[in-house]
């Protein structure tokens, strides 16, 4: 197995060559385990600290999209407390969501997200700096404010798996062979945090990643604490280079051609 640095450099080059990505991603967390991991991380940060939102030292190049999504999860750190009953970012988030996504490089997204407990489907459309969000109802799509805190938008894990540099750069990674996932050959890697104050999406003791051998994107991302999974996200199906109709990138009912 090649060294992780060589593997990651090649994966980054492969991601840059992708023109479109179409797929389905399932995101899961164990609310109790995820909250415990969050509280454990909070306990290591000085009370009232907001340093996690503005880390010191040289800035890493990141995706602005991932940063914007990630801030929704990290925002509660501004009111940090070590109380065991304090709210965490996972309290109001469904434990299971499914997102169908269409991405056209460089910056056009359509994401349709539904929680497993039923109810509404959120539709997020991004076209460069334009962000539109709506919720599907029997009457169609009802537009809402784009800066809403709905869990039915683009999850940070989903954005981070595609724009993977942000996650990969905060982990020490060790290759562990190859596996098949979502009908794709993948490199399997295990990771630990390079900086305990900077975690990728979920705070955890360790992480397991699956990188598509040919495309370079992350097809599975799992966070583990106390030896057990506390959260993960995974593509259940994915296709690259597929033509996406123009009307996909307008807020409205799902185009029939999707």
Residue 33 included in any domain? yes
User: What stretches in the chain show pLDDT beneath 50?
Assistant: 1, 50-63, 72-83
Residue 256 included in any domain? no
Residue 248 included in any domain? no
Residue 190: burial class (beta carbons within 10 Å; 0-12, 13-18, 19+): middle
What is the Cα–Cα distance from 2 to 10, expressed in whole angstroms? 11
Give the tokens for residue 85. 């009953």
pLDDT of the residue at 77? 41
Q: Is 7 helix (H, G, I), strand (E, B) or coil?
A: helix
Domain containing 168: what range?
A: 4-53+62-240
pLDDT of the residue at 195? 92
pLDDT of the residue at 53? 35
pLDDT of the residue at 52? 39
201-215 pLDDT tens trace: 999 999 999 999 999
What is the Cα–Cα distance from 41 to 88, expressed in whole angstroms? 11
- Give start and end residues of each alpha helix (H) in 19-169: 31-42, 64-74, 156-162, 165-168
Calculate ∠ Cα 218-136-219, nearest 5°.
5
pTM: 0.84
Residue 127 included in any domain? yes
120-168 pLDDT tens trace: 889 999 998 889 999 887 677 777 776 556 788 899 999 999 999 999 9
User: Residue 97 sits in a domain of what CATH number?
Assistant: 2.50.20.20
Residue 27 included in any domain? yes
How many Å separate Cα 98 from the centre of its chain? 12
Residue 216 included in any domain? yes
Contact (Cβ atoms closer than 8 angstroms) between residue 73 and residue 155: no
Residue 247 included in any domain? no
Residue 146 included in any domain? yes
What is the Cα–Cα distance from 46 to 48, expressed in whole angstroms? 6
Number of domains in the chain: 1
């Amino acid at each position: 197995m090649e060294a992780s640095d060589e593997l990651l450099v090649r994966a980054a080059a492969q991601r840059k060559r992708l023109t479109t990505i179409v797929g389905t991603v399932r995101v899961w967390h164990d609310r109790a385990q995820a909250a415990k991991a969050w509280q454990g991380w909070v306990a290591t940060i000085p009370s009232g600290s907001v340093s996690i939102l503005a880390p010191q030292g040289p800035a890493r190049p990141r995706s602005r999209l991932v940063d914007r999504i990630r801030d929704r999860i990290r925002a509660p750190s501004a009111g940090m407390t070590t109380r065991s009953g304090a709210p965490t970012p996972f309290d109001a988030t469904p434990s299971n969501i499914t997102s169908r996504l269409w991405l056209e490089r460089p910056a056009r997204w359509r994401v349709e997200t539904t929680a497993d407990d039923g109810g509404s489907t959120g539709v997020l459309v991004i076209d460069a700096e334009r962000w539109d969000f709506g919720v599907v109802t029997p009457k169609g799509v009802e537009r809402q404010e784009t800066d809403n805190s709905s869990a039915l938008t683009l999850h940070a894990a989903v954005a981070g798996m595609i724009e993977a540099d942000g996650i990969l750069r905060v982990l020490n990674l060790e290759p562990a062979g190859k596996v098949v996932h979502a009908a794709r050959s993948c490199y399997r890697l295990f990771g630990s945090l390079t900086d305990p104050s900077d975690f990728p999406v979920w705070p955890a003791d360790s992480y397991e990643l699956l990188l598509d051998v040919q495309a370079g994107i992350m097809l599975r991302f799992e966070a583990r604490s106390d030896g057990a999974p506390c959260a993960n996200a995974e593509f259940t199906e994915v296709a690259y280079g597929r033509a996406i109709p123009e009307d996909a990138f307008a807020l409205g009912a799902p185009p029939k051609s999707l």
